[in-house]
Amino acid sequence: MSLLTVTVSWALLLWPCLFTVSVPLDCKDEQVSITRCPFISQEKLLDRVIQHAELISRISEETCSLFEEMFVPFPLRLQRNQAGYTCITKALPIPSSKSEIQQISDTWLLHSVLMLVQSWIEPLIYLQTTLDQYDNAPVILLNKTKWVSEKLISLEQGVVVLIKKLLDEGALTASFSEQSLFQYEPAPDLLESVMRDYILLSCFKKDTHKMEIFLKLLKCRQTDKYNCA
């Protein structure tokens, strides 16, 4: 009887600690899953999200370069710059200059990231299918694309949890998925298809870079508010 009361009292005393203790073993793979990893600290979650974003950005850059070398002729490589406003996410109200970015709130930062991530999930899936259609697409290109699309999904999950934790908001539904930004149109010929894919990859590269910077800024704000204006 006494042992039982002791254990119960200890459990009651340590009850608040349960929420602050992180369980790294279970959550090493996935950023967030309430069912799987109920307990993870906020800092650790943010770090993992940033890791994901950095990795995705790097892989996307490598994919684009690889694609450019393989399929895009030299004179046409400048077209990506000209298609700056044809990126699928251009309509999103996301600031682009540092001054602007430094002025937006944490909420807006996170929401921007989430919008970006959610916008690119579908095009990446499409990209995988199109790349398979190329005859001499290197395996590494396909693998990278596949990997990126997977990681993007987990990044989305992490950002969702982060929004919940940091902003104390309820579960966000992917509101942007309703209006699909990406419309698939079958390309008339191969070159068009290649160029379209090339531009797609370039835009994706920019957006992942954006995501990375946003999340890092957020982290800086979390740790040291005054120096991270």
Partner 1 sequence: MAIHSLSCHLLLLLLMSSLDGLIKPGSAFIHDWDQRASSVTLEPHITGCLSRDQETFRCWWSPGNFQNLSSSGALRFFYLKKESPNSQWKECPHYIYSNRECFFNMTYTSVWITYCMQLRGENNVTFYNENDCFSVEDIVRPDPPVNLNWTVLSISPSGVSFDVRVKWEPPPSADMATGWIRVHYELQYRERNTTKWEALEMQPQHQQTIFGLHIGKKYEVHIRCRMIGFKKFGELSDSIFIEVSEVESTETTFSFTIVVVFGIVGILILVMLIIVSQQHRFMKILLPPVPAPKIKGINAEMLKKGKLEELNLILSGGGMGGLPPFAADFYQDEPWVEFIEVDAEDTDSGEKEDHQGLDTQRLLGLPQPINQPMNIGCANTISFPDDDSGRASCYDPDLLDQDTPVLVTTLLPGQPENGEALLDVVGGTSTPERSERPLVQIQTTGPQTWVNTDFYAQVSNVMPSGGVVLSPGQQLRTQESTSSTEQEETQKREKDSEGEEKKEQQFELVVVDPEGHGNATESIAQQALTTPVSPIPGEGYQTIQPQQVETRQAAASEDNQSPYVGPEFPMAQFSVPVSDYTIVQEVDTQHSLLLHPPPHQSPPPCLPQPPPKSLFGMPVGYITPDLLGNLSP
Minimum distance of partner 1 from residue 58's CB (angstroms): 6
Report the alpha-carbon distance of residue 42 to residue 49 in Å, rounded. Answer: 11
Q: Which is nearer to partner 1, 15 or 74 (CB)?
A: 74
Minimum distance of partner 1 from residue 76's CB (angstroms): 7
Minimum distance of partner 1 from residue 197's CB (angstroms): 12
| Cα angle value 14/15/19 (rounded, 5°) | 110
Q: Which is nearer to partner 1, 135 or 168 (CB)?
A: 135
Name the 3-class secondary structure at 87: coil
Q: Which is nearer to partner 1, 96 or 179 (CB)?
A: 96
Minimum distance of partner 1 from residue 18's CB (angstroms): 32
Q: Which is nearer to partner 1, 38 or 95 (CB)?
A: 95
Give Dmax over CA atoms of the chain in angstroms.
Answer: 83
Name the 3-class secondary structure at 37: strand
In the complex, which residues of this chain contact partner 1 (CB under 8 A)?
54, 57-58, 61, 71, 73-78, 81-85, 96-99, 133-136, 189-191, 194, 205-207, 209-210, 212-213, 215-217, 219-220, 227-228
Minimum distance of partner 1 from residue 99's CB (angstroms): 5
The helix (H) or strand (E) run that includes residue 80 is helix 79-82
Q: Which is nearer to partner 1, 37 or 203 (CB)?
A: 203
Give the CA-trace dihedral at 15, 19, 25, 26, to 10 degrees. 100
Specify whether the CB–CB gap between 205 and 64 falls below 8 A. yes
